[in-house]
Amino acid sequence: MELTDEKLNELKEQANNIRISIIEMLLEAGSGHTAGPLDMADIFTILYFHTLRHKPKDPSWEERDRVVLSNGHICPVLYATLAHAGYFPKEELKTLRKFGSRLQGHPHRDFLPILETSSGPLASGLSQAVGMALSDKMDHGLTSARRIYCLLSDGELESGQTWEAAMLAGKEKLHNLVGVIDRNNIQIDGYTEDIMPLESLSPLWHVIEIDGHNIEEIADAFETAKSIFGKPTMIIAHTIAGKGVKEFERDYRWHGKPPNKDEANMALAELRTLGGKIRSEHQ
């Protein structure tokens, strides 16, 4: 699908609206992660509003693509995107982390069956996605149009299980598997390169490096992944932690804390101003 100027503008505005919802959710919850959800809003927007084969009104559609969120702590961006895409009412976002809510602090399929997996313990997501991709390949061979998308943090690449899954995916030539690494260079204890420098991915993968906030680059990377056969694809999305709110950007301390009322009001004012600029550019 061609990205016209009008479509690009719609996607930019959608990503900004998702960031606004993230801040509102975290303020209401009084707990949760801020940096990762904000920096992945552009990726999730392209995925759910441009790339993904899915039907919000029929979430169990058999031919849908699968989305596995390995770094479950960034679930506010997943929930916000699902609500904006029409999976459930946006008003429900305010129930994040509340007792009895479907929107748990980490994605839980028992509470929200539209999810493909439950996640929380880091490094298990790629293994789950590899299993799904291998199963689909065994069932349908090269004829299936389905893609399995796995979203990962860069910090979880420090875990051995991720690399075991990556090796198996390469060995089995899982062309239907697309990983996306949120390369924001932070984790809860500091900067990733100070804690454990990350090495290159296996040559058994097709690797694409992009600006994780450039709408066209993100869309092109997902489109390129559909044309790759004989190996899985890993998109390394270079992102800015806390993207969209200058006060939060590139500060690892925002990895695992929510904004207070004053900080949230500041962030919302900045994002709403940006939204107005996006709309005015194409009027």
Q: How many Cβ atoms are within 10 Å of 237's Cβ, its own excluded? A: 25
Q: Is 41 exposed, middle or buried (0-12, 13-18, 19+ CB in 10 A)?
A: buried
pLDDT of res. 283: 65
Whole-number average pLDDT of the chain: 94
Q: What is the mean pLDDT of residues 128-138?
A: 97
DSSP label at residue 200? P
pLDDT of res. 120: 84
* Exposure b/e, 104-115, CB count within 10 A at least 16 = b: bbbbbeeebeeb
Q: How far apart are CA 104 and CA 4, in angstroms?
A: 37
pLDDT one-digit tens code per residue, 68-79: 999 999 999 999
- Architecture of the domain whose range is 5-281: 3-Layer(aba) Sandwich (3.40)
pTM of this structure: 0.94
Band of residue 127 on the pLDDT scale cut at 50, 70, 90:
very high
Q: Where are the domains of the chain?
A: 5-281
Q: How far apart are CA 108 and CA 114, in angstroms?
A: 10
Band of residue 256 on the pLDDT scale cut at 50, 70, 90:
very high
pLDDT of res. 203: 79
Element (H, E) at 186: strand 186-187
Band of residue 2 on the pLDDT scale cut at 50, 70, 90:
confident
pLDDT of res. 234: 97
Q: How far apart are CA 35 and CA 277, in angstroms?
A: 23
Residue 202 has pLDDT above 80, yes or no: no
